[in-house]
Structure 1
Amino acid sequence: MCSGSFAKCLGITLIPLAILCTLANILLFFPGGKTAGNNEHITDEVWCFGGIMGSGVLMIFPALVFLGLKNNDCCGCCGNESCGKRFAMFTSIIFAAVGLVGAGYSFIVSAVAINKGPKCKTDTGYMYPFDNGNYLSNSTLWTECKGPGDIVTWHLTLFSMLLIMAGVQAVLCAVQVINGLIGTICGDCCGCCGGNGPV
């Protein structure tokens, strides 16, 4: 398989993941599925925009670059370095690194948010009632959150989705770094120079 075709497959996978991450981050602005009465009632990590900026906007750029790598005729470039295919594959490594940074940022923000727990309404007002992830192994503590809605489940579900999707994005970008190195060293299609077309 041409490294350009493989990169295109990665780009096709990254775009829906970026959209889902953006949507998950937007939903977190509605704690428990309800409109927040005050911006201070929203968990601090939501304002870090990990899903919108990290796994969303920063992931769109590498995804579009990966999609464009297959636009040129792969085998028409064999032995012709002036066509720029090797340079295009090298450029994809840089954009894959950008994607890795974005996914890493989203992953870290999500992990911190999960460990910290949600900001919710308690008997003493809005605060963070949990400490160092102690609520993760003891669901009876969840009753300390009186609202809004089922805030603990909402918080855990959406941030867990962001964590998992950011992890998948990071893996895909890391794979493209390797794929880009192969494409840079031996060309977009290592097997097409024999005249039989791409393998």
Structure 2
Amino acid sequence: MCTGKCSLCIGRTLYPLALISIICNIVLFFPDWDVQYALERHITREVTLMGGLVGGGVMVLIPAVHIYMTGERGWCANRCGMFLSIILAAVGVAGALYSFIVAVFGLLHGPLCKDILDDWSTPFNTKDVNYLEYPDFWELFCTEPKNVVKFNVVLFSILLVVNSLQIILCGIQMINGLFGCLCGTCRDTDNTRHNNVTLTTTVHVA
């Protein structure tokens, strides 16, 4: 696969991943599908850091657009475009890594919820035992919002998977961009072949 086509493939794959990351972060603001917790600021701290929205979302989406364009004939399918894609892919790695780290801490600390003493706290953050291994106790320590622990675990886990894929893809693009700078994007070669075929056909017709 030439470097231009590889960029097209990576760019197309990053689009939905960035969108999933943004959606997950937005949904995390509404535990139990209720806006009151966001309005009252009873939201997990890691959610307010907006790793999925800013890091895995915007900081990956912008490079994805350029990476896709580096593979598109007539846009940035040149060595300069490939060089810029390396820098933007590095930005994508940084954004995805930021979102990944926030998601890890979101899982480790657990959600902000109303505990058994009717106070808002992060009850699992003070436990020596990993709460993820004991789902039967989630509702006992978090009484409100309903199913907030499962809600956070599922969405933060999705972010971890999505961000991991983003880091891998942006890393591949950095290598692909380097080869593109050195060897070109193959698009010029494609155009040359197309022109040669057209010229040959014209000569035969004549």
TM-score by length of 2: 0.84
Instruction: Determine if contact 1:116/1:133 at 8 Å carries over to the other structure.
Output: no
Gapped regions of structure 1 (runs ≥ 5):
75-82
- 2:16: which partner in 1? 16
Cα distance in 2 for residues equivalent to 1:68 and 1:181: 16
Partner of residue 135 from structure 1, selected from 121, 131, 135:
131
Cα distance in 1 for residues equivalent to 2:161 and 2:72: 31
Write the mapping of 1:73-152 to structure 2, written as runs, cut at 5 A.
Answer: 85-124=78-117, 125-131=119-125, 134-142=130-138, 143-152=140-149
Instruction: Determine if contact 1:115/1:133 at 8 Å carries over to the other structure.
Output: no
Higher RCO (CA < 8 A, seq sep 6+)? 1
Instruction: Determine if contact 1:118/1:151 at 8 Å carries over to the other structure.
Output: yes
Cα distance in 2 for residues equivalent to 1:108 and 1:133: 21
For residues 64-93 of structure 1, what are the alpha-carbon distances to aligned partners after superposition, in whole Å with 9 as ceiling and x for unaligned?
00111123369xxxxxxxx98111111100
Q: Output the amino acid matched with 1:40.
A: R
How far 1:50 moved relative to its partner? 0.5
Alignment: residue pair count? 188
Write the mapping of 1:2-41 to structure 2, written as runs, cut at 5 A.
Answer: 2-37=2-37, 38-41=39-42
Q: 1:181 to 1:133 in 2, by over 3 A?
A: farther
How far 1:137 moved relative to its partner? 1.3
Q: 1:191 to 1:12 in 2, by over 3 A?
A: same
Instruction: Determine if contact 1:28/1:158 at 8 Å carries over to the other structure.
Output: yes
Gapped regions of structure 2 (runs ≥ 5):
195-206
Instruction: Determine if contact 1:22/1:56 at 8 Å carries over to the other structure.
Output: yes
For residues 108-141 of structure 1, what are the alpha-carbon distances to aligned partners after superposition, in whole Å with 9 as ceiling and x for unaligned?
0000000100111112211011136720112233
1:158 aligns with 2:152: no
How far 1:42 moved relative to its partner? 0.5
Cα distance in 2 for residues equivalent to 1:166 and 1:151: 22
Partner of 2:120, secondary structure, is strand
Q: Structure 1 segments of 4 or more deviating over 6 A? A: none
Q: Output the amino acid matched with 1:5.
A: K
- 1:78: which partner in 2? none
Q: Look at both structures and tell me which one has the larger radius of gyration over its CA atoms.
A: 2
Instruction: Determine if contact 1:92/1:177 at 8 Å carries over to the other structure.
Output: yes
Partner of residue 164 from structure 2, selected from 145, 163, 167:
167
Q: Output the amino acid matched with 2:171.
A: A
- 1:80: which partner in 2? none
Q: Output the amino acid matched with 2:166.
A: Q
Partner of 1:111, secondary structure, is helix
Instruction: Determine if contact 1:85/1:188 at 8 Å carries over to the other structure.
Output: yes
Which has the higher mean CA deviation after the structures are superposed, 1-10 or 36-45? Answer: 36-45
Write the mapping of 1:172-187 to structure 2, written as runs, cut at 5 A.
Answer: 172-187=169-184
Instruction: Determine if contact 1:32/1:150 at 8 Å carries over to the other structure.
Output: yes
